[in-house]
Chain A
Amino acid sequence: MTDLVMFAALFATYAVLRNNSFGGPTEASTFNIYFVFAETLILLTSSFTCGLASLAAAQGNVKKTINWFSATFALGLAFLVMEITEFHRLIKTGSGPQRSAFLSSYFALVGAHGLHIAVGLLWMALTMVVVLRRGLTPKTNSQLQRLALFWHFLDIVWIFIFTVVYLMGIM
């Protein structure tokens, strides 16, 4: 919940500053919407595989749980790599966060989400190790469910980033 409020503040900042491009690149010229659409589909699919993983965990199937979480991890990693590629492209072409208020708020908002994804991946890797070593006890199961909640939450935040930042940006 506190995280949600933080994202709300970043969204508000972005909404206010989105047109202040200071003569630099504007939203429409900055984004590669097809690339971002692919990112969206990947993250959505990872949310689905994460759901299947917690389903397998609830059924007590260790092998399936690990398999689905590995799939989620791989998709999450793909998403993160794509996002970093996008950031790298922007910074290389002179559209880094220091260019304008629009880009500062863009990097703050999308970067905060990316950081959450990175932390989520680390968390997922550690949880998988724990499950492999201790099996699916009530305790590890509860840890898995919390991780799944976090992951689904990140997907919901991304849906709003995709809508507000990218889709409304290129309109």
Chain B
Amino acid sequence: MGPIVHSMKKYLTAYLLSLLLVVIAFGLIYIHISSAHEVFSHPFLRVAIIILAVIQAIIQLKFFLHLGQDQSGKTNMALIFFTLGLILIIVVGSIWIMNHLNYNMTPQQIQDYMNSQSTF
């Protein structure tokens, strides 16, 4: 392993940024659940808090785990991207398939299913 530069400043920056991001995410949801009328739309909130989490993951990977700093940085990055690819396939694939199961039902099954649901 190559030299890894530790510094107090970096840890503190990462910590404060992470705190800020998590408080923002919590704040958004808090406003959402505590106000009577809808301040933010659901899709907006969903995307917003996921983006906040991803930013935080990147910050922590960079500052806490020192990603891409040492000699083997390139190999590590390749490994990370490979893993991210796998994760994307597993998570997005599962959600996609499971949420579209009804497309794969026979007409009779769909009829049965609709009959079993309460009337709208």
Query: B1-34 vs A: 1/0 string, CB under 8 Å?
Result: 0001011100110110011001001100100110
A107 beta carbon closer than 8 Å to chain B: no
A100 beta carbon closer than 8 Å to chain B: no
Residues of B within 8 A of A (CB): 4, 6-8, 11-12, 14-15, 18-19, 22, 25-26, 29, 32-33, 42, 45-46, 49-50, 52-53, 56-57, 60-61, 63-65, 79-80, 82-83, 86-87, 90-91, 93-95, 98-99
Task: Identify whether the interface residues of B are mostly helix, strand, loop, or mixed.
Answer: helix
Task: Pick 12 A–B contacts, CB within 8 A, sort by A.
Answer: A5-B90, A16-B98, A41-B22, A48-B14, A152-B65, A153-B65, A159-B56, A159-B60, A164-B50, A171-B32, A171-B42, A171-B45
Known contacts A51-B64, A152-B60; A8 and B18 CB within 8 A of each other? no
| A13–B52 touching, CB < 8 Å | no
Q: Using a Cβ cutoff of 8 Å, how many contacts connect chains A and B?
A: 107
A54 to chain B, nearest CB (A): 7
Task: Identify whether the interface residues of A are mostly helix, strand, loop, or mixed.
Answer: helix
| A163–B25 touching, CB < 8 Å | yes
Residues of A within 8 A of B (CB): 1, 4-5, 8-9, 11-13, 15-16, 33, 37, 40-41, 44-45, 47-48, 51-52, 54-55, 58-59, 145, 149, 152-153, 155-156, 159-160, 162-164, 167-168, 170-171
Q: Which residue of B lies closest to A1 (CB)?
A: B83
Task: Identify which of A12, A52, A59, A145 gathers the most chain B CB atoms within 10 Å of its CB.
Answer: A12
Task: Identify which of A8, A11, A58, A164 gathers the most chain B CB atoms within 10 Å of its CB.
Answer: A8
Task: Identify which of A52, A159, A170 gathers the most chain B CB atoms within 10 Å of its CB.
Answer: A159
CA gap between A142 and B11 in the complex, in Å? 19
CA gap between A1 and B81 in the complex, in Å? 10
The 3 closest A-B pairs by CB, nearest first: A12-B94, A8-B87, A51-B11
Q: Which residue of A lies closest to B61 (CB)?
A: A156
Known contacts A5-B83, A40-B22, A155-B60; A16 and B15 CB within 8 A of each other? no
Across the interface, B19 reaches (CB within 8 A) one of A15, A16, A44, A168, namely A44
Q: Which residue of A lies closest to B16 (CB)?
A: A48
